[in-house]
Amino acid sequence: MYHFFVNPDQIGAETIRIMGPDVNHMKNVLRMGAGEQILISNGVDKDYLCEILEVASTEVTAKILSVDEGGTELPARLYLFQGLPKGDKMELIIQKAVELGVYQIIPVQTKRAVVRLDKKKEESKLRRWNAVSESAAKQSKRLIIPEVTGVMTFQEALTFAKDLDITVIPFEHAKDMAETKEILSAIKPGMSAGIFIGPEGGFEDSEMELAKNFGAKLITLGKRILRTETAGLAIVSVLAFQLEG
């Protein structure tokens, strides 16, 4: 079943209006018509099972069949602070992190990150990255489209994360798996958690010292060194499994 997002003001008592780029996609690509069922999310807290009533040139009208307020979101908000990786890895990270349930993704400029984005390139990347997030949210039946924010410096990211309930950073020199399990198991429903992941070259020791000064907890992901596109997804997977229970 196809999944679409609308703003709350497009939702009426009995019908929902879909407008914008989705109309062209539904009409000319998916060839959808009256009678077909679709899933619509309000981007906040509700899913609507709907039946298409009319496909017009500028909007699609759908009848509300049922409302689901249970939702598919994790009961905790996970923020992924991702050190800028090379190539197209960021798109893969965003896609999979959204599928797994992250609430927001924050690209971070770290000392060892090879990638450097000027203002124009950053704006272009953000449009693409948020489009990837939207597509992944639709595919995985999310209630919200997780935002990919503008790029932050490492210190800006730590300042942002200071308001979260807990912040963790995988570090290759961290060894205590028992302590890591204890830290992760303390993340409960209703909490907010920041996950910092370094770029290909990892974090510098000075960044780790700064992170500890901000209250971040250093954890280990085991005896193997994981790639930047794997590390964050590994933690989110563990937390998603733990929180879903």
The residues that bridge with 218 in the sheet, in sequence order, are 169
Per-residue pLDDT of the chain (245 residues; tens, 9 = 90+): 899 999 889 999 999 999 999 999 999 899 999 999 999 988 888 889 999 999 998 999 999 999 988 778 899 999 999 999 998 999 999 999 999 999 999 999 998 888 888 888 889 999 999 999 999 999 998 989 999 999 999 999 999 999 999 999 988 777 788 999 999 999 999 999 999 999 998 888 899 899 999 999 999 888 888 899 999 999 999 999 999 86
**What is residue 18's predicted lDDT score, i.e. its pLDDT?**
95
Q: Cα–Cα distance between 166 and 168 in angstroms, integer?
A: 7
In the chain, the amino acid numbered 165 is: D
Q: What CA–CA distance (Å, rounded) separates 55 from 32?
A: 8
DSSP per position, 16-43 = EEEETHHHHIIIIIS---TT-EEEEE-S
Give me the CATH topology for the region 3-68: Ribosomal Protein L25; Chain P (2.40.240)
CATH code matching the domain that covers 77-244, chosen among 3.10.450.50, 3.40.1280.10, 3.40.47.10, 3.90.1150.10? 3.40.1280.10
At residue 237, the pLDDT reads 95
Sequence ranges of the chain with CATH classification 3.40.1280.10: 77-244
CB crowding 143-170: b at 16 or more within 10 Å, else e? bbbbebbebbebeebbebbeebebbbbb
Q: What integer pLDDT is reported at residue 26 of this predicted model? A: 93
Q: pLDDT at position 116, please?
A: 84
- Give the residues across from 189 on adjacent strands: none
Tell me what pLDDT residue 223 has: 85
What confidence score (pLDDT) does residue 82 get?
A: 96
* CB contact at 8 A, 130 and 148: yes
**What distance in Å separates the CA atoms of residue 132 and residue 47, rounded to the nearest whole number?**
21
* Cα–Cα distance measured from residue 58 to residue 19, given in angstroms and rounded to the nearest whole number: 6
Residue 232 pLDDT: 94
Q: Strand 217-219 and strand 166-170: pairing?
A: parallel
**Rounded-to-integer distance, Cα 84 and Cα 177, Å:** 27
Residue 77: the pLDDT is 96
Listed in order, the ranges of the chain carrying CATH 2.40.240.20 are 3-68
